[in-house]
Amino acid sequence: MKSEGNGRILGRVPAGEQLPQERILNFNEVVLGYAVEQAVAEANRCLQCKKSPCMQGCPVGVDIPSFIKLMKEGDFRGAAGKIKEKNSLPAICGRVCPQENQCEKFCTLDRKGKPIAIGRLERFAADFERNSGKISLPKKKKSVGKRIAVIGSGPAGLTCAGDLAKLGYEVTIFEALHKPGGVLAYGIPEFRLPKAVVEAEIDGLKKLGVEIKTNVVVGTSVTIDELFCEGYSAVFIGTGAGLPRFLEIPGENLNGIYSANEFLTRVNLMKSYLFPKYDTPIKKGKNVVVVGGGNVAMDSARTALRLGAKNVYLLYRRTEEEMPARAEEVQHAKEEGIKFRFLATPQKFCGVDGWVSGVECVETKLGEPDESGRRRPIIKKGSEFSLTADVVIVAIGTGANPLLLRATPGLELNRKGYVLANQNGQTSKRGVFAGGDIITGSATVILAMGAGRKAALEIDRYLSIL
């Protein structure tokens, strides 16, 4: 075990970050990533455990010890190649995976509170390869002469497409928006995931032979049954959970109240933070209230701040402990001055001349656990308070978009409207597979990728026994 003279284990090498007071004035990436020496130093902390416990925490099964070993030796491009055997989007995952709940949680050093920064190392390897301009392509099997349609170009669809291309299939991705990437393009902000990184990883898939057709809404532009008629042998549905939920409280349709989906899409996909250079407008609030406690709520709050808000309040109806957002994102949000109001929930929006002017809220306390296992918030009588707001962003989750599903006879849904599929992604409709948020409801990028990978293997199995 590497240790200092007194036998203590060395702590994680911290990655550089933009200072909070600087970064709230720009949309550039907050975490700057490792320099070469830092990456090697961090890799050198790895114990190379025989049983590789870290790997059980990775939904796509990256060979973590092997890529870290290559990094110790300074072979960063080799490390990138090793990661890409299992993960076609390493620069993305290195940035947005919740490693603290996955690989790093299983790291032997986690018991000492100092797990290897696997995410930072993954990001470094991927960035190093991309910046070197010499991007290696994973091995591709001989063409099997079959076409697969992938619906949606988010993390699930991209992974499924990449894996199938490697297995020798001709893959076409259909994307409803004008740009591929799904939530990576419209949802996650530039300061957390630069769009150039997303574009580069998608380019990698195109080089593998994956074709991407944008501006196609499967369900209206073309149906799944028509895709089969056109000669596709199997279809993968990776459309995500894109239907925004609202609070359904009075005043919610006042001007200035956004769903997080709309707010983030305007800023990230349509680049409204560059208005009027880009044509899409956005309301820049002085006093912004964000409702919700997930990563999307953090992204919305931090984006509002960067658009020039003076005060950004974040209302969450449970405590910090129950918040689904990543610890790192919460930490960053706090450093930047987001004002958290835990155990509080909005009850009504007030308006002046059709525009939102404030939020009437009430405090909550936690009762018995609900079906999600988290303690249910209960309203505290007589605890009403109000907040001034000229922009409100509702980030309380999303549901399944029914557009494709209602146009697909034979596809069974569960009672929440998500697609029913077995653990390998097989749906009730022959030849149709699904994975990611469209099955599970809102989850993470890496879980969607894991589901895309499983479905790719299942599609390969299904087509080889046909």
* Amino acid letter, 396: I
Contact residue for other proteins among 48, 132, 221, 422 (CB under 8 A): 221
- Taking CB under 8 A as the rule, does residue 407 contact other proteins? no
Answer whether 179's CB lies under 8 Å from 269's CB. yes
- Taking CB under 8 A as the rule, does residue 176 contact other proteins? yes
Q: Contact region for other proteins (CB under 8 A) — 52-60, 83-91, 243-251, 419-427?
A: 243-251
User: How far, in Å, CA of 239 to CA of 335, rounded?
Assistant: 34
Residue 108 half-sphere exposure toward CB, CA atoms < 13 A: 13
User: How far, in Å, CA of 68 to CA of 72, rounded?
Assistant: 6
Q: What is the C-alpha end-to-end distance of the chain, expressed in Å?
A: 52
Adjacent-strand bridge partners of 313? 289, 339
User: How far, in Å, CA of 407 to CA of 49, rounded?
Assistant: 50
Ranges within 336-395 binding other proteins (CB under 8 A) = 354
Q: Contact region for other proteins (CB under 8 A) — 191-199, 220-228, 298-306, 372-380?
A: 220-228
- Taking CB under 8 A as the rule, does residue 261 contact other proteins? yes
Q: How far apart are CB 226 and other proteins at their closest, in Å?
A: 10
- Taking CB under 8 A as the rule, does residue 7 contact other proteins? no
How many chain residues bind other proteins (CB under 8 A)?
40
- Taking CB under 8 A as the rule, does residue 444 contact other proteins? no
Contact residue for other proteins among 22, 230, 279, 412 (CB under 8 A): 279
Secondary structure letter of residue 222 according to DSSP = B
Closest CA to 364 of 356, 372, 375: 375
Is the CB of 55 or the CB of 177 nearer to other proteins?
Answer: 177
Contact residue for other proteins among 28, 132, 143, 255 (CB under 8 A): 255
The residue behind tokens 């309301």 is 283
Q: How far apart are CB 379 and other proteins at their closest, in Å?
A: 23
Contact residue for other proteins among 15, 71, 202, 222 (CB under 8 A): 222
Contact residue for other proteins among 23, 283, 306, 429 (CB under 8 A): 283
- Taking CB under 8 A as the rule, does residue 172 contact other proteins? no
User: How far, in Å, CA of 269 to CA of 74, rounded?
Assistant: 36
Residue 16 zone, left/alpha/beta (φ > 0; ψ -120 to 50; rest): beta
Contact residue for other proteins among 138, 275, 320, 374 (CB under 8 A): 275
All residues at 6 or more sequence positions from 382 whose CB lies less than 8 Å from its CB, including other chains: none
Is the CB of 99 or the CB of 259 nearer to other proteins?
Answer: 259
> What is the secondary structure of 371-390 as a DSSP string?
TTSSEEEEEPTT--EEEE-S
Strand, coil or helix: 161? helix
Mark 129-168 with x for binding to other proteins (rule: CB under 8 A) and - for no binding. ----------------------------------------
Mark 74-93 with x for binding to other proteins (rule: CB under 8 A) and - for no binding. --------------------
Closest CA to 201 of 268, 127, 267: 127
Is the CB of 272 or the CB of 426 nearer to other proteins?
Answer: 272
Q: Contact region for other proteins (CB under 8 A) — 78-86, 106-114, 116-124, 208-216?
A: 208-216
SS (H, E, C) 446-465: HHHHHHHHHHHHHHHHHHHC
Encoding tokens for residue 354?
């059709």
Encoding tokens for residue 44?
């050198």
- Taking CB under 8 A as the rule, does residue 266 contact other proteins? yes
Contact residue for other proteins among 281, 308, 367, 410 (CB under 8 A): 281
Contact residue for other proteins among 134, 139, 142, 277 (CB under 8 A): 277
Secondary structure letter of residue 307 according to DSSP = T
> What is the secondary structure of 85-147 as a DSSP string?
TT-S-HHHHHHHS-GGGTHHHH-GGGGGT----HHHHHHHHHHHHHHHT-PPPPP-PPP---E
- Taking CB under 8 A as the rule, does residue 26 contact other proteins? no
- Taking CB under 8 A as the rule, does residue 321 contact other proteins? no
Q: Contact region for other proteins (CB under 8 A) — 142-150, 238-246, 342-350, 385-393?
A: 238-246
- Taking CB under 8 A as the rule, does residue 203 contact other proteins? no
Q: How far apart are CB 279 and other proteins at their closest, in Å?
A: 4
- Taking CB under 8 A as the rule, does residue 244 contact other proteins? yes
User: How far, in Å, CA of 206 to CA of 165, rounded?
Assistant: 10
Strand pairing category for 147-151 and 170-174: parallel
Is the CB of 65 or the CB of 219 nearer to other proteins?
Answer: 219
Residues in contact with other proteins by CB under 8 A are 176-178, 186, 214-217, 220-222, 242-244, 246, 248, 252-253, 255-256, 258-259, 261-262, 265-266, 270-271, 275-281, 283, 354, 401-403
